[in-house]
Every structure is written in C-alpha cells, then in structure tokens.
Amino acid sequence: MAIDGVNGEGYTVPFLINGENVHPERSFDVTNPATGKVVHRSGSASEVEVQAAVDAAAQAFKTWKKTTPQQRRNIFLKVADNLESRKEELAKYMMEETGCPQQWADFNLMTAKDFLYDVGGRISSVEGSYPATNSPETGAIVLREPFGVVLAIAPWNAPYILGMRSVLYPIAAGNTAILKGSEACPRTMWGLCSVFQEGGLPAGVLNMLVHEPANAPAITKSLISNPEIKKINFTGSTAVGRIIGRLAGENLKPVLQELGGKASAIVWEDADLDNAAVQCALGAFLNSGQICMSTERILVHKNVRAEFEKKLVGAIDHIFNGEGSDAPVLITAAAVDKIKALVSDALSKGANLVYGDANAPEEKTKTRIRPMVIAGIKEDMDLYKTESFGPTVSLFEIESEEEALRIANDTEYGLTSAVFTEDLRRGLRFANEIETGAVHINSMTVHDESMLPHGGAKASGYGRFNASTGLSEWVRTKTVTFKV
C-alpha cells in the first residue's frame, strides 16, 4: 500500500485513507460507457486497505464526536465553496466515468451543494431531552449520541447527490465514515471526498475506497462484519440490498437502505396534459432512465389517452430525441441487453410500441439505446414487474381510481409515484392509498431535495435520508438517570 499524490498520464485513482492518497497493489480499468474507451485505472481494495480505513475512522471518531455544531457547520460551508470552485473539474470526472450529459453532472453538483448548506444549518437541531420520571427524587437526561464508524455505500447513477448524502448526514451527527464508492466512477467519488479534505475535515473522518467487481462479496462482508462499523447505509438495487440487509442482520447492525423502484404516474382525465406529458417524459428518461425514482408506468385515463399519447410523443421528441441527437447512454452494454430482452418479451406476448423502434440499428456504441414507450403490458410479461432501469416506460389505460391504485400498487417496490389532476382532493386521495415513500402531485416521480425525507416502502428500502429525519438516523439515545 503506497501513499502519494501522483497524477498525470496513466493516472490511477487512489483511495483516501486518513487524509492521504493511498495506492493499493491491485488496480483495474475504468471505461467511459459513452465511448467504450478506458479513461484511467483505479485502485482495488484488499483487506489491508479495508483495515486501514476502519482504523483511521475509529481513531478519528474519538475527537470528531466532541466537535461542536459550529465547527462542523463551518467546515461544511467551506466544502460547499470548494465544490463550487471545482465544479468544472468534478463534472468532467462524472461525465467521463458514467457517460452522462453535462446537465446531469451540473444538477448533481448543485444538489450536493444544497445538501451542505441545508445540513450545516440543521446540525444544532440534534438535541437531547430532560424528561419527567416516576419519582420526584429521580432525574433523567436522554442524550443523543453518534454511533461511531459508519459504512456508506453509494452508486454511480447520481454519484455526487447519493455519495454526498451517504456521508454528510452521518458526519454531521458526529460519526466518522468510510465511503465504499462504485467501481464505475471511482474518480468521481474521490473528487467528492477530496473537497471535504480541502474544506478542513480532519484526517480519518471521511475515508474512501473502491474495489473491482469480483471482490465485492469479500470486501463488503469484511467491512460489515468489522466490529468498528456500527451502522450502514446503502443505495442501490433491491437485489444487492437484500444481501446487505442479510449481512447487517447477521452482525446485528442497523442499516438504512434506499433501493429499486417501479414508479407509476397517474394521469387523470382532468389533468393539464401538456404538463403531464413533459413531466412523464422527464420522469421516464432523465439520465437514460437510470434513476431509482424513474417513471416506469404511466396510467392514463381512457378519456384522454389518445390526446396524452400525442403530447407525450411530442415531449419525448423535443427533449430527448431531437434531430441529430445521440441515443441515451447506459452504464454498460449488459444494461442495454436487459432493456432489449424486456421489450422483446413484451412484444412477443402482445404488447405494442407507442414510441421507439425495438429493431433499431445498433448505435455507435453498444451502451446506447433510444427511448421506447410500450402499451398493452400484461401481468405475464417480464416488463410488468421488472424495474427496467433504462429508457423505457409502459403505458396503461385506466377508467377508475380503484383500477389505477391496483396497478400502481401491484409491484414489490414502493419508492415514489406521481399523480396529475387539477382536483387536489383527488390527488390527496391517491396519495393516501399509493404504497410509496413519496407521491408528487402534478410533477414527475423523480424528486429528491435536502429539505424532504426520502426513502421507500416495501422492497424499496427502509429508513430515511435527508432533512431532520435523515440526521436523526445517525444518532442513538442514551438514558442517564440520577438522584436529586
């Protein structure tokens, strides 16, 4: 394990451990999915780096937990300034590693900066209490203390947003953290952590490492089972979330998870169809549909279906498929193959395409595929249940609120949803009955901001990120009694 700060040609992304750039013995290629070219290499963690990161975080916790809310706030404000001054550099990392467009990288950085401002102002709200007891001769204080070392596991699809929230809230509450970043965007994750270091965060409070895919089971198990790791947060697929949950359960450790989704958008007959069409197009195809909150089902009232379809097609063409535009980029060729298989299965069983071409010629890279809207989806089709996590959306015709709710809730997922109606009472009725962590009335299913709790129901996870609720996730109570 070497420590240095080398950059330049043949660059290998280091880890950040105890305030130092660390280069492990093993490394792997990182490829830009938009071009298929290797952009650099990244270190791949072994048990040596895992233990070094854990030791650094455990040692730093002894002093970080004693810092004041003002000290932490001031650091976060400096980090926000660093994020702003380095935004072009950081956006470049994200675009090169994930193939995303400039707008998505800029949105990530803007939202990450908002998190820093918001959390900086919330830190002092973490407070204990002085409750009454059964005896007038006994007093009690309920303290709220940080857990210790937190393992944060964040994905590649919105790395600055999801990486930021995974470590910011635990650190703000007095914990230290190890960010296990995605192997798809290690330099992006390193960049995120480096702005904290430049902002004055003490060495060891935030550590970062990644590993090559083949080592995921061993490294993840090693981290979760380490006695110094006290709590975990994970954002990613439900399949991996089940593994994380099992490992955490075996080690009796709490875990916060935000997982997959199969979000429905209900378009009622009184909806503003222009707005609904734009919002559904954005909700379905932003970041190539690679968002856990992406709209996967549009449930449109039969009285306005024909008109809505025309407006939806127009919105997709205008926003995502203009003349000369490239097809959206997915993170891997395997993701494209998954989309094609889901659509092929549906079409073979009687579904039909409202928009797009299932047999379109191959794009300039195998990681690209254009948006598709599929109607006639039935329960026996794979696409009915499976999260596509790509640029497809299914269109359903509905006649009643009961039918809309049945379809919207007929999924193992429950992350987010949307309702388009000019009748707020109807919108609130839907909101009360849809089994999701969020319902957005007259806006798209993709919505995440620092002021609002964020998380899912059912197989979309448990616990909440963001806002005061998200900060409370990272402290536990300690009851102290005394005689008076």
Q: Which of 292, 296, 309, 473 is catalytic?
A: 292
φ, ψ dihedrals at 262, nearest 5°:
-145, 65
Q: Which of 400, 151, 445 is nearest to 297 (CA)?
A: 445
CB neighbours of 308 closer than 8 A, spacing ≥ 6? 267, 273, 276, 277, 300
Distance CA 160, CA 177 (A): 16
Contact present, 229 and 113 (Cβ < 8 Å): no
Distance CA 393, CA 313 (A): 12
Using CB atoms within 10 A of its CB, is residue 29 exposed (0-12), middle (13-18) or buried (19+)? exposed
Q: Which of 76, 166, 105, 106 is nearest to 455 (CA)?
A: 166
Q: Which of 49, 183, 228, 258 is catalytic?
A: 258
φ, ψ dihedrals at 118, nearest 5°:
-65, -50
Residue 203 has a CB neighbour count (10 Å cut-off) of 15
Distance CA 228, CA 216 (A): 20
Concatenated DSSP letters of 436-473? SS--EETS-S----TTS-B--SGGGEES-BSHHHHHHT
DSSP bridge partners of 142 = 129, 479
What ranges in 173-215 are assigned the alpha helix state H?
A: 186-198
Reply yes or no on whether 250 is catalytic.
no
Reply yes or no on whether 258 is catalytic.
yes
By annotation, the residues acting in catalysis are 258, 292
